[in-house]
Amino acid sequence: MAWVFLLLAGCCEIGWPIGLKLGWTEQGIRWLWIAFAIACITTSGVLLLLAQREIPMGTAYAVWTGIGAVGAFLVGVWFFGDPGTLLRFASVGLIVLGIVGLKLA
C-alpha cells in the first residue's frame, strides 16, 4: 500500500505547479487555482508521510519528486507550450530510469 500512497503523492505533486501557473494571470490572482495548488501540496505531503512509514525516506523522496518533475514537464509541454526538445525528453527519460532503479533496488 505504501507504493500506492507514493504514486498518488507524486500525482498530487504534479497538481500544485499547475495550480500556481493558472492561479496568477495578468488580470490578477485566481483564488480557485491557488486553493487547488494548496490542496495538492497538502495532500501530496500527507501521502508522502504515509508512504515513508514503509519505504525508506531517501527512496520515497526521490520517487516523489521524480514523479512530480516528470509529470510537470509533460503537462508543461502538452498544455502550456513549453519546449519539448529531444534533449529535454532524453533528460526526463533519465529521471524515469532513476525512479525505476530505486523501485527495483
102: pLDDT confidence band, cut at 50, 70 and 90?
A: confident
52: pLDDT confidence band, cut at 50, 70 and 90?
A: very high
pLDDT tens per residue, range 28-48:
999 999 999 999 999 999 999
Quote the cell numbers at residue 29: 490572482
103: pLDDT confidence band, cut at 50, 70 and 90?
A: confident
Q: Which residues pair with 28 in a beta bridge?
A: 25
pLDDT tens per residue, range 15-31:
999 999 999 989 999 99
The C-alpha angle with vertex 19 and arms to 42 and 44, in degrees rounded to 5, equals 25
65: Cβ–Cβ under 8 A, 6 or more apart, which residues?
13
Residue ranges of domains in the chain: 2-104
Q: Residue 104: its pLDDT value, please? A: 85
User: 83 φ, ψ to 5°?
Assistant: -60, 135
Q: What is the pTM of this model?
A: 0.87
